[in-house]
Amino acid sequence: MSGSSRRLLGLAGLGAALLLSGCWERPPVESVQRGFRGTGMVHVANPRLEAAKVAANEAPESSPRVAVEPGTPLARDVYKNVKVLGDLDVGNFTRLMAAMTQWVSPEQGCNYCHKEGNFEDESLYTKHVARRMLQMTQTVNSKWQTHVGATGVTCYTCHRGMPVPQRIWFKDAEGLEGGVFAGWRYGQNAPARTAGLSSLPKEPFSAYLLGNGEIRVGSSKALPSEHVASIQHTEWTYALMMHFADSLGVNCTFCHNAHNFATWDGSPPTRATAWHGIRMVRALNNEYLEPLGPTYPKAALGPAGDAPKAYCATCHKGLNKPLYGAAMARDYPELLAPIPVVQRAPAQTVVPVGTITKVFFVVGRSDLAGEAIETVDSTAKSLAANPAVKVAISGYADKTGNADKNLELAKNRAFAVRDALKKGGVGEERITMRKPEFVIGGAEADARRVEIIVVE
């Protein structure tokens, strides 16, 4: 063999080795130390590939918020079926609809969720899903700040301009089959991206991101008393960890000090964020995504008939912070938390001068009881809503028995009504106290009263 052909063989051998090794990446390669020296906690990145990631993960620009003038109508004043966004002003409601279209269905437009020309129609399943998605987004941003911080998410974080987000998961229909002879497969030896193309089970998600399975490979007890760390759980745990690393574009040392994967002592704070993330994803799958199953058409369901679900990659898409941490949710306060219900003052009613409200009392007593409390209460509310109205209060007494005592009683009853009105927010300057009067004739019960008379 000549020297040159030997060299050629050598080159071919090197080429084959590179091809077969599978994990070869064209340089340059850069590394950033993330832990103490000697711990091997290093993040390895290739700036050439990073550049492509940057382009694919740019957040779209937000349109400016619509200024709200006092008196601007709310969505619920104008529209019919607004169960989530009813308390948002119409200007920003329309702005959000436009943004949702850009985030979820830019090609299909408004009609992806709406029947042409009839926005209040509720017949499309996409509208029902979108309504639940609005609530889910509000929940992520308000209840899971332990994970998403102040950065938060919008529909775009998951959807990226597509009605069906990339990187979602379904239950593995074949994993649980297998029978006695085929053995226990659980999707093993069927390289899937979900498990980083390893021969690990490809669907650890039902156990850990839908169920509350213990993500553990070592038992916390000396003897295997409770069988938490079975081989099955060990394989699922590693498969899940491959998914974490793949979803975030990091290696294991991003969250672990690899000398001991179990201990939290040497783990970076990112592991705690991930811990909350696991709980958040479980909640989203259980409370929002899985229950949407019956809403979807059959074709949208997985091979086991279940609804599409989220995992880490659904938001992260290869980055440790989705969209490089762009805080676009801040531009849409209505997505940060459920919109507070706008309390309106009751409409002003005209209270004509001369209107009389009667408050009745028990024999011999001057305290308010039963219906009298309600009467004074509702009068106080009506006066609070009509601040220009002034009233006079006068007590009545009958002449039977000791007249002086009766007058004293009438006076005390009038004071009780005044005090109750004041307590209900009516200023003293709006109340005039009149002298008690004797009732001439009439029923006895009618005599034991105080009148509130509108005088202005």
Q: Which of residues 181-240 bind ligand HEC (CB under 6 A)?
A: 215-218, 237-238
* Torsion of Cα atoms, 211 then 215 then 218 then 224, to 10°: -10
User: Locate tokens 């269905």: which residue?
Assistant: 105
**Is the CB of 59 or the CB of 129 nearer to ligand HEC?**
129
Helices then strands, counting H and E runs in the chain, come out as: 15, 7
Residues 263-292 that bind ligand HEC (CB under 6 A): 270-271, 273-275, 277-278, 281, 289
Residues 318-357 that bind ligand HEC (CB under 6 A): 320-322, 325
Q: How far apart are the C-alpha atoms of 51 and 48, rounded to whole Å?
A: 5
Residues 237-266 that bind ligand HEC (CB under 6 A): 237-238, 241-242, 244-245, 248, 250, 252, 254-256, 261-262
Please name the amino acid found at residue 211: G
In the complex, minimum distance from the CB of residue 99 to ligand HEC, in angstroms, rounded to a whole number = 9
In the complex, minimum distance from the CB of residue 174 to ligand HEC, in angstroms, rounded to a whole number = 20
DSSP letter for each residue of 195-220 = GTTSSS-S--HIIIIIS-----SS-S
CB neighbours of 346 closer than 8 A, spacing ≥ 6? 381, 385
DSSP label at residue 135: H
**Is the CB of 185 or the CB of 321 nearer to ligand HEC?**
321
CB neighbours of 429 closer than 8 A, spacing ≥ 6? none
Question: How many residues can be counted in the chain?
Answer: 456
Q: Is 51 helix (H, G, I), strand (E, B) or coil?
A: helix
In the complex, minimum distance from the CB of residue 172 to ligand HEC, in angstroms, rounded to a whole number = 17
Q: Which stretch binds ligand HEC (CB under 6 A): 10-18, 57-65, 312-320, 371-379?
A: 312-320
Instruction: State the binding string over 4-43 for ligand HEC (x if CB under 6 A, else -).
Output: ----------------------------------------
Other Cβ atoms less than 10 A from the Cβ of 387: the count is: 12
User: Which secondary-structure segment (H or E) carries 285?
Assistant: none
Residues 105-134 that bind ligand HEC (CB under 6 A): 105, 110, 112-114, 119-120, 126-127, 129-131, 133-134
**Is the CB of 130 or the CB of 414 nearer to ligand HEC?**
130
In the complex, minimum distance from the CB of residue 64 to ligand HEC, in angstroms, rounded to a whole number = 16
Task: Identify whether the C-beta of residue 434 lies closer than 8 Å to the C-beta of residue 407.
Answer: no
User: Locate tokens 């074949």: which residue?
Assistant: 174
Residues 41-100 that bind ligand HEC (CB under 6 A): 79-86, 97-98, 100
In the complex, minimum distance from the CB of residue 35 to ligand HEC, in angstroms, rounded to a whole number = 13
**Is the CB of 99 or the CB of 454 nearer to ligand HEC?**
99
Instruction: State the binding string over 142-161 for ligand HEC (x if CB under 6 A, else -).
Output: -----xxx-x-x-x-xxx--
CB neighbours of 434 closer than 8 A, spacing ≥ 6? 392, 393, 394, 414
